[in-house]
């Protein structure tokens, strides 16, 4: 209820293969929105986690392979089922993570690559949906080094509690009937990839260098 703008942003984020961050107080359906949208995508691999100050990068990229470490001394992450192997991810309580853990996301979110020594994985990640209770602007004032990470997130949206009586009554109505518990439509991953290919690399992409140079001057 009253999340039409947020849903529109999620559509844009998925179509453009970009990432989204929602922030606001607990109980404003940040997680619910993500679960409903990602739940309607079929054939895609998903990864979900809730970050905390005490987690290390294994929570995102998988633990070290103890057997490989014992056999040949190689530090290799076991990435099966983890962030490097999925198309969509939900990273909950993002700003509760430590700064070193947040900075491990730089290459994953932007270049879609996981590099650790000789381990180099090209990630299929399309969109990461991140959420937090803390406003990112306030967080950056006390943690300016996090700007590099948040700069990788193109879409941001603030969630508030419903404040209109008609919205609250509609929320209760839908909840009692289970209307908002799952996606009402399904879309296969292959279709989304075709659409996003047209968005990110359109056939009519400007090729005239003079226009690109004029754009650079304007910026």
Q: Which of left, alpha, beta for 24 (phi over 0: left; psi -120 to 50: alpha)?
A: left
pTM of the predicted model, to two decimals?
0.88
Helix (H) or strand (E) holding 46: strand 46-50
Does position 189 have pLDDT exceeding 90, yes or no?
Answer: yes
Bridge pairing between strands 119-122 and 113-116: antiparallel
Q: State the pLDDT at residue 205.
A: 72
Which of 72, 73, 71, 75 lies closest to 61 in space, CA to CA? 75
Rounded to 5°, the CA angle 62-65-71 comes to 170
Which of 36, 86, 39 lies closest to 60 in space, CA to CA? 86
* pLDDT tens-digit readout, 139-155: 999 999 999 999 999 99
63 Cβ contact list (under 8 Å, min separation 6): 77, 78
Q: State the pLDDT at residue 73.
A: 76
Q: State the pLDDT at residue 170.
A: 93
Instruction: Give the span between the Cα atoms of 112 and 99, in whole angstroms.
Output: 20
Q: State the pLDDT at residue 181.
A: 67
Q: What is the mean pLDDT of residues 27-46?
A: 94
Does position 40 have pLDDT exceeding 90, yes or no?
Answer: yes
Instruction: Give the span between the Cα atoms of 114 and 47, in whole angstroms.
Output: 15
């Amino acid at each position: 209820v009253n999340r039409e703008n947020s849903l529109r942003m999620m559509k844009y984020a998925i179509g453009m293969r970009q990432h989204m961050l929602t922030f606001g107080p607990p109980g404003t359906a940040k997680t619910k929105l993500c679960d409903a949208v990602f739940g309607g995508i079929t054939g895609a691999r998903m990864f979900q986690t809730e970050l905390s100050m005490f987690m290390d990068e294994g929570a995102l990229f998988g633990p070290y392979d103890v057997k490989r470490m014992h056999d040949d001394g190689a530090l290799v992450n076991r990435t099966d089922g983890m962030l490097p192997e999925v198309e969509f991810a939900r990273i909950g309580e993002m700003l509760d993570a430590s700064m070193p853990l947040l900075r491990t996301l730089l290459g994953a979110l932007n270049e879609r690559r996981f590099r650790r020594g000789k381990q180099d994985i090209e990630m299929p990640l399309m969109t990461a949906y991140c959420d937090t209770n803390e406003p990112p602007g306030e967080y950056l004032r006390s943690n300016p080094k996090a700007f590099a990470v948040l700069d990788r997130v193109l879409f941001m949206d603030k969630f508030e509690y419903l404040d209109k009586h008609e919205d609250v009554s509609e929320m209760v109505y839908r909840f009692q009937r289970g209307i908002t518990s799952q996606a009402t439509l399904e879309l296969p991953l292959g279709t989304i990839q075709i659409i996003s290919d047209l968005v990110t690399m359109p056939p009519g992409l400007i090729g005239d260098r003079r226009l690109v140079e004029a754009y650079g001057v304007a910026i």
